[in-house]
């Protein structure tokens, strides 16, 4: 049983406001499915609580509007920003780190969400904390 839908991972308020079609290309769709199967759903199952996607796929127009990095994994559907009601971003980040789920990067990016990145040939489980200026490696 999957708790996620592709539309949750494609929905963008920024795109809607700007009238941009944020439909993913087929490769990004494939990446989104892998992100759901191998990261989001396993985390959701371990957590036992709904996870809210604040940002998933972003095409280049949408990514520019939200000031995303030009090489952002959101552009190819590999990443999602998530939060859980009743948990701080830091608590969610710590939960993910200890979950045993394999990912490329997990970033405590702000007080409101955690950024998670899945890339099947690069599952280094790197943990980073954004301190407002730069990304600091967290061991
Ligand atoms: Zn992100």
Identify the band that residue 104 occupies on the pLDDT scale cut at 50, 70 and 90: very high
What is the CATH number for 69? 3.30.1380.10
**In a domain? residue 1:** no
Residue 85 lies in a domain: yes
Q: Is 50 contained in some domain?
A: yes
Alpha-carbon torsion, ordered 93, 94, 96, 101, to 10 deg: 150
106: CA distance to ligand 1 center in Å? 9
Number of folded domains that form the chain = 1
Decide: pTM greater than 0.85. Answer: yes
Contact 73, 5 (CB under 8 A): no
Residue 101 belongs to domain spanning: 6-137
On whether residue 92 sits in a domain, the answer given is yes
Confidence of residue 87 (pLDDT cuts 50, 70, 90): very high
Cα 104 to ligand 1 centre (Å): 13
Q: What is the pLDDT of residue 139?
A: 78
42 — pLDDT class (breaks 50, 70, 90): very high
């Amino acid at each position: 049983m999957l708790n996620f839908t592709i539309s949750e991972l494609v929905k963008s308020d920024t795109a809607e406001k700007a009238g941009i079609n944020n439909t993913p290309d087929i490769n990004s769709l494939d990446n989104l499915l892998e992100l759901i199967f191998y990261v989001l759903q396993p985390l959701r199952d371990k957590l036992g609580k709904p996870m809210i996607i604040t940002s998933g796929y972003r095409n280049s127009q949408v990514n520019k509007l939200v000031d995303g990095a030009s090489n952002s994994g959101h552009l190819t559907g590999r990443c999602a920003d998530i939060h859980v009601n009743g948990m701080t971003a830091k608590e969610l980040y710590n939960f993910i780190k200890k979950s045993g789920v394999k990912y490329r990067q997990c970033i405590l990016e702000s007080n409101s969400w955690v950024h998670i990145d899945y890339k099947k040939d690069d599952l280094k489980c790197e943990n980073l904390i954004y301190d407002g200026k730069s990304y600091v490696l967290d061991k």
